Structure 1
C-alpha cells in the first residue's frame, strides 16, 4: 500500500501497522527493545528510523533517530524526554573532559553522541525506544545515574546549541 507524498521523495509504503516508510526503508529490520543492539539501520517500534554508527572517533557512538515528521513523536513530553536522554549522555562526556558537537539536536532528525564505555549502548537505545512508546522511566533512570556520577547536568534550554570542540 502506498500513500501520498509527505515532503520527501516517495512513494511511501505501509510497514507492519507502523506509520508509512519511504520505499528505501521498507527492507530495514525492525529493532526489538530487548534484542541485541549493534551498529546498523533499523525501523523502531514507534515507526522511526534508528541509525547506530560505529564510532568514527573511538570515544563516541553516534545515534540518529528520524521520525519523518510523525506528530505522535513530537509532543512536548517526548521532546523533553529525548532531551533528558541526551543530557544523560552528555554528563558522561563532561565528566571525561571531552566536548563535541551538541549531544542533542531536536526536530525531525534527533542526533545523540554517546561516549563509548559510559552508558551501555543497549540501555541508551532501549531508553530511546521507550520514549517513542511513551515510557520515560528508563530515560529518567539514566539521567539520575549520570547525575550521581558526574553531578548535575545542565538544565533544559541551557546552552542547547553548544558546538564546542
Structure 2
C-alpha cells in the first residue's frame, strides 16, 4: 500500500483518463464495484481515492474516506445529497445500536463515513459510493430505504 499525500504539492500525473493523481498514487489498485473490498487504499472509477480502515473512535466501526481532491465534477449538489443519504443509511444502524459518533458525515472533496461492522456489508456500501461517483443514486436510495424500513427515519437529509 502506498502512503497518502493529501495536500502535498505535485508531481501529479494523468492516470488512465482519470483526474490527475499524485505520482505515488498511480500504483494504487483500481477498485472494482463488484470485487471484494478489504482495508486499504484504492483509486476509484470516478477518479477518487478510497481508503478503508478501522475507525479510531470505535472498534465497532470502519472509517471509509472518499477523496476527490482535484475533481470538482464530484462535488455537485446532487452528488453531495446522495453521499449525505448514504451516510444517513449507515447512521440508522448506529442509532439503533445506541452508538453515536462524530462525524457521521463530512462532505466536500474529502468525504468521511463511519460504518458499523455487521450492518451494511462493506462491499455494498462501497458499491453505492462508487455508483454515486458515476451518477447513479439508486443503490444509495435503496440502502436508505432499507435502514428507514427497519429503524424509522434517522433525521432529515437537509
Q: Same fold (TM over 0.5)?
A: yes
Q: What displacement does 1:54 show?
A: 3.1
SS of 1:34 mapped into structure 2 = coil
> Match for residue 99 of structure 1?
100
Given that 2:51 and 2:64 are in contact with CA atoms closer than 8 Å, whether structure 1 keeps it comes out as yes
TM-aligned CA distance change 1:106 to 1:149, over 3 Å: same
Secondary structure in 2 aligned to 1:148?
Answer: helix
Partner of 2:47: 47
Partner of 2:21: 21
Specify the alignment match of 1:119 in structure 2: 120
> How far is 1:71 from its partner?
1.3
Structure-1 residue corresponding to 2:4: none
Equivalences for residues 86-165 of structure 1 within 5 A: 86-157=87-158
Query: Displaced runs of 4+ in structure 1, greater than 2 A?
Result: 54-58
Counterpart in 2 of 1:80?
Answer: 81
When normalised by structure 1's length, the TM-score is 0.88
CA–CA separation in structure 2 for the residues paired with 1:138 and 1:146: 12
Q: How far 1:55 sits from its partner (Å)?
A: 4.6
The CA distance in 2 between the partners of 1:29 and 1:22, in whole Å, is 14
Q: TM-score, normalised by structure 2?
A: 0.92
Equivalenced residue count is 151
Taking only aligned residues, the RMSD between alpha carbons, in angstroms, comes to 1.2
Query: 1:41-96 deviations in whole A, cap 9, x for unaligned?
Result: 00000000000003553210000000004111001100000000000000100000
